[in-house]
């Protein structure tokens, strides 16, 4: 992805004099990581306490995605990058309600 050159006055609302204007460019590269060889399924009861943030459900399993080690855990759990419940799709942890309120005030016949 490449933003191209963005003038800071136009893109960020700065009011720099013409002689001091600056352009900014952001380039980013990304790649899809292969899951092959980096995933495993474990029983919830086998997880160490450090990885449990709630009571485990009967028969619950977790998928572990491993792309690197951490100093927070030891043994076979040292290489846990992402951990998620296979039952998670069946229940909702939380919800977010977003809304927008718009008002239109007409001040005269020429107002839009």
Q: How many CA atoms lie within 13 A of 81 on its CB side?
A: 10
- What confidence tier does 76 reach under pLDDT thresholds 50, 70, 90? confident
Q: pLDDT at residue 107 above 80?
A: no
The answer to the question of residue 105 being in a domain is: no
Specify which residues 85 forms β-bridges with.
Answer: 62
Return the pLDDT at 104.
47
The answer to the question of residue 62 being in a domain is: yes
On average, the pLDDT of the chain sits at: 77
The answer to the question of residue 107 being in a domain is: no
What's the average model confidence in pLDDT over 59-66? 87
| Alpha carbon distances (Å) from 43 to 58, 60, 63 | 10, 6, 9
The answer to the question of residue 20 being in a domain is: yes
C-beta of residue 4 within 8 angstroms of C-beta of residue 26: no
Look-up of token digits 């399993």: 61
Look up the domain containing 3 and give its range: 1-30
pTM above 0.85, yes or no: no
């Amino acid at each position: 992805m490449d933003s191209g050159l963005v003038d800071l006055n136009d893109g960020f609302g700065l009011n720099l004099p013409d002689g001091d204007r600056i352009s900014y460019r952001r380039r980013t590269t990304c790649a899809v990581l292969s899951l092959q060889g980096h995933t495993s399924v474990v029983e919830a009861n086998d997880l160490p306490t450090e990885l449990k943030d709630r009571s485990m459900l009967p028969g619950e399993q977790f998928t572990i995605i491993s792309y690197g080690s951490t100093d927070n855990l030891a043994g076979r759990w040292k290489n846990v990058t992402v951990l998620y419940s296979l039952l998670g799709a069946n229940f909702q942890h939380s919800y977010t309600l977003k809304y927008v309120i718009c008002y239109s005030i007409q001040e005269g016949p020429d107002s839009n």
